[in-house]
Structure 1
Amino acid sequence: MKSLLTLFLGITLTTGTLIVQAQNEWDLQKCFDYAIENNLQVKRQEITTRYNETMVKQAKDDKLPNLNGQLSNDFSFGRSLTYDNTYDNINSTSLAGGLSTNMTLYNGLTLSNTVKMRELDLQATMADLQKTKDDIMLSISAEYLEILFAEELELVAEATMEVTKQQIERTKQLVDAGSEARGALLEIEAQMAREELDLVNAQNRVQLAYLNLFQLLELPMAESFSIEKPVLPEIQANLTMINAYDVFSTAINVRPEIKAAQLRVQSASKQLAIAKGSRYPSLSFGANYYNQYNNQYKDFEGNRIELGEQLKNNSRSSLGLTLSIPIFNRFQAKNNITNSELQIADYEYQLQQSRNVLRRDIEQVYTNALAALNRYLSSEKAVASMKEAFRYTEEKFNVGMINSVEYNQSKTNLTNAQSDLVQAKYEYIFRTKILDFYNGVPITL
């Protein structure tokens, strides 16, 4: 997963400035709803789900008897069979037709196991669909928080510039009064130029974060929006996080990727039962109806036999049972059973792999969240100290006890500490939201 809070220092948009239209605000849930409805990955997975629904229906329909009709029209020349079962040199036209039906009564439970296998495949596909939705919601949450983070960095840059502007005004007054050298003013103005660049970079980061969110939502820029700024939870030193093992114990029972892997193991087991079923005899029921008409059929007195009478006399029907006993099928049944057993083993490995990946992801998120919490608490203390240090430095600079270089360094230290605090805060919030999500709690802000 892409890191949420990697600092992009010096980002510039060479293709032009993106303008976020603040005509309306979207909260996180509205972003979720729009993405689930419009994301192409979700749409493709929904198509796969509908395809498997059709496969389930077909597996059930295969238990029904079939019904087929046939119709033929023949033109005979020369010696042909007549109505009295003799041959004569005549030209004739005959029309024949019939109906046939067949129904499997038993075939080693292949039909029943096929239905169960298709149902398991459908359930696995539905779990895949939910996994796709979950991944999109996590990505949207990351981009949403990235926007909030970038906007706070922009506020820090603006506040820093405001302090510098005020100091420039004070220095100008001192220079004009002759109590300060002009070099001090030039140094602060140079610092102002650097901070203006930092502000531009922060603004560009906001715009880029919005662009990433719009693209993730498959939303055209013409329909852009501004995000709603939620009230984020307060981070305190005595916060406790749920243990990673406890999260994993819950996630193993609720995560869709684990369910999908388990269902595919069960589906492979049904495929093995189908392969074994081909070794058993199969019993089917069949029925047929046949009739024909010939334009040259005549009775013993030489009179042409009419259509209705021919259809009455030529009607034939049959009923029967067919028992098919497999004796030798070029080892197809044996090889299919072997392949099915190998497929089960492969799906079991995939299931274990999915569990291992889930465990590693949860442990990594937990570790990152704990580290972010510690960084936040340390940064919080650092900001408090830096504020006091900068206040003291500013007082000394105003009375000429230190030069502008020392002043700018103190202010830069404060700005960096504030940026580190913002970064740690949003990383902690995001990581804990992921932990909650693995624990079955929907993501909210």
Structure 2
Amino acid sequence: MKKIFLVALLFSLVLGVKAQEKWSLKKCIDYANEHNISLQLKKLDADVQANNTKQSKLDMLPSLRGGVDYGFNYGRTLNSTNTYSDQNIESGSLSVSSNLTLFEGFKKRNTLKQNELDLKASLQDVEKAKEDLALNITSYYLDILFKKELLQVAKDQLKITQLQIERTEVLVEAGTLPKGTLMEQKAQAAQEDLTVVNSQNNLDLSLLDLAQLLDLEQIENFDISIPQLPVVNATQSMIDPESVFSNSLKFRPGIKSANLRLESSEKGLSIAKSQRTPSLSMYASWGSSYSNDFPEIGTLVDGTGNPILDDLGNPQRTVIRSEMRLSDQLRSRERKAFGFQLNIPIFNGGIVNRNISNAKVNIDRSRLNLENTKNVLRKEIQQAHANAIAAMKKYFSSQTAVSSTEEAFRYTEEKFNLGLVNSVDYNEAKNNLLRSKSNLLQAKYEYIFRTKIIDFYNGVEISL
């Protein structure tokens, strides 16, 4: 029984460790690529386009159709002798036909190329959705890291205040400080404890936001791992935004997709123009039929096996059986056809001209969409570069502010311990330090995120 208990305890501990497993940025991105619903919808759009491309290839093959029918006629019916009679007739037929388009202005070939281009564009849309999702996850991830550090700063401030309360209690008991000072310190501790609670709540909400972005079903105990963050270097230089833009034009999925759709619209114009050209097709068919009122006709012969002739010297024929055998009927009643068909468009109410005009409009629209995509990309890169520069300046300025406020707080703390300043001035100096540290953390994570965006536009995979 004891062994069973130990095994169960060990099993529960293993499950507990697994439940507490922390998510890295890569794990978050990989999971989202597999489970994010919006991304899955993009993949389904690409699958549909893949089916369209496959169908375009099959459309270039000859068509083949077969048919079989079998029926019953009752009452007064037209029989095989082309007369009406009251009888029940069973009949059936077989047919096979094929058609092959030889030429129609390269419509099918251009349709195949257009669908192939649309498929490539759809796949680039999927890649763009993946990259946008990765950027979004990175933003949420860094926000959690920021709030984790902010929570730790709040806890450290509370510890300092609690230590100060202990020292103040000693000084109050010794009569060095008035009791009001101790009350003010306790009020400050209560306020800082509320700051810790609010910081924890903000962190929990950020974790919830990321878990929901990943579409996790179980969000209890969800947490992220803390990576080794890059060091912010004052001598680090920013890549020129125009260089980043020129480089990103070669591989950005949004640009590739827009280029491919421009090519697709040009193929659409070729397809529309093909409707003006004559089309040539080849067809072939085979068919046969069966009826139970179709008699077998044979030649009359005499006792020696020679045919009996009529008055004109022709062999006399008569009904041998009232119903010819199925195999004989199919062979004797078969029909074959083979030929070519040429269709020449003359007038169709201006539909072709309208389609050509709309195709040209689609080309203009695709070209403008490409230019707009490039313009948006350039603006995003310029904005990301400007934001990164501003974040870097803010970070180093905040570093200086933290150094100054730390020195000011130490000086004020020493004076407070000697009774030279009151608790109001002391708490104000400590709050200033908290604000400067918060600003420094915010600037650090903003700078990291902005530089990651620059790297992302320059073709570097997002990672921490």
**TM-score of the superposed pair, with normalisation by structure 1:** 0.92
Q: Does 1:53 align with 2:50?
A: yes
Aligned AA for 1:306? R
Query: In structure 2, how many angstroms separate the alpha carbons of the residues matched to 1:245 and 1:366?
Result: 10
Aligned AA for 1:276? K
> Helix, strand or coil: the match of 2:249?
helix
Query: In structure 1, how many angstroms separate the alpha carbons of the residues matched to 2:142 and 2:219?
Result: 22
**Per-residue deviation, 1:236:** 2.2
Contact 2:208 2:219 in 1 (8 A): no
Q: How many residues align?
A: 424
> Helix, strand or coil: the match of 1:302?
strand
Alignment of 1:176-255 (within 5 A): 176-222=173-219, 224-255=221-252
Aligned AA for 1:302? V
> Helix, strand or coil: the match of 1:67?
strand
> Helix, strand or coil: the match of 1:100?
strand
> Helix, strand or coil: the match of 2:61?
coil
Q: Which residue of 2 is the match for residue 87 of structure 1?
A: 83
Structure 1 counterpart of 2:377, from 355, 358, 366: 358
- Pair 1:293–1:21, CA change in 2 (3 A): closer
Q: Which residue of 1 is the match for residue 269 of structure 2?
A: 272
Query: In structure 2, how many angstroms separate the alpha carbons of the residues matched to 1:79 and 1:387?
Result: 111
Q: Which residue of 2 is the match for residue 320 of structure 1?
A: 339
Aligned AA for 2:69? S
Aligned AA for 2:217? P
Q: Does 1:117 align with 2:114?
A: yes
Contact 2:211 2:219 in 1 (8 A): no
Q: Which residue of 2 is the match for residue 301 of structure 1?
A: 318
Contact 1:76 1:93 in 2 (8 A): no
**1:196-252 Cα deviation digits (max 9, x unpaired):** 111111111111111111111111235643212111111122121111111111112
**1:159-205 Cα deviation digits (max 9, x unpaired):** 11111111111111111111111111111111111111111111111
> Helix, strand or coil: the match of 1:179?
coil
Query: In structure 1, how many angstroms separate the alpha carbons of the residues matched to 2:69 and 2:196?
Result: 85
Contact 1:65 1:104 in 2 (8 A): yes
Q: Does 1:42 align with 2:39?
A: yes
**1:317-355 Cα deviation digits (max 9, x unpaired):** 111111111111111111000000001111111111111
Q: Which residue of 1 is the match for residue 137 of structure 2?
A: 140
Gaps of 5+ in 1: 1-19
Q: Does 1:368 align with 2:387?
A: yes
Aligned AA for 1:432? T
Query: In structure 2, how many angstroms separate the alpha carbons of the residues matched to 1:245 and 1:363?
Result: 8
Query: In structure 2, how many angstroms separate the alpha carbons of the residues matched to 1:301 and 1:249?
Result: 91
**1:70-97 Cα deviation digits (max 9, x unpaired):** 22335275463535xx535353332222
Query: In structure 1, how many angstroms separate the alpha carbons of the residues matched to 2:164 and 2:289?
Result: 109
Aligned AA for 2:189? M
Compare CA radii of gyration and give the structure with the larger one. Answer: 2
Q: Does 1:403 align with 2:422?
A: yes
Q: Aligned residues: percent identity?
A: 44
The runs of at least 4 aligned residues of structure 1 exceeding 6 Å deviation read none
Query: In structure 2, how many angstroms separate the alpha carbons of the residues matched to 1:341 and 1:143?
Result: 43
Gaps of 5+ in 2: 1-16, 298-316
**1:89-113 Cα deviation digits (max 9, x unpaired):** 3533322221111011111000000
Greater alpha carbon shift after TM alignment, 243-252 vs 380-389? 243-252
Query: In structure 2, how many angstroms separate the alpha carbons of the residues matched to 1:88 and 1:194?
Result: 108
Query: In structure 2, how many angstroms separate the alpha carbons of the residues matched to 1:55 and 1:145?
Result: 41
**1:291-312 Cα deviation digits (max 9, x unpaired):** 1112112224123222222222
- Pair 1:94–1:312, CA change in 2 (3 A): same
Structure 2 counterpart of 1:436, from 447, 455, 458: 455
Query: In structure 2, how many angstroms separate the alpha carbons of the residues matched to 1:22 and 1:386?
Result: 41
> Helix, strand or coil: the match of 1:321?
strand
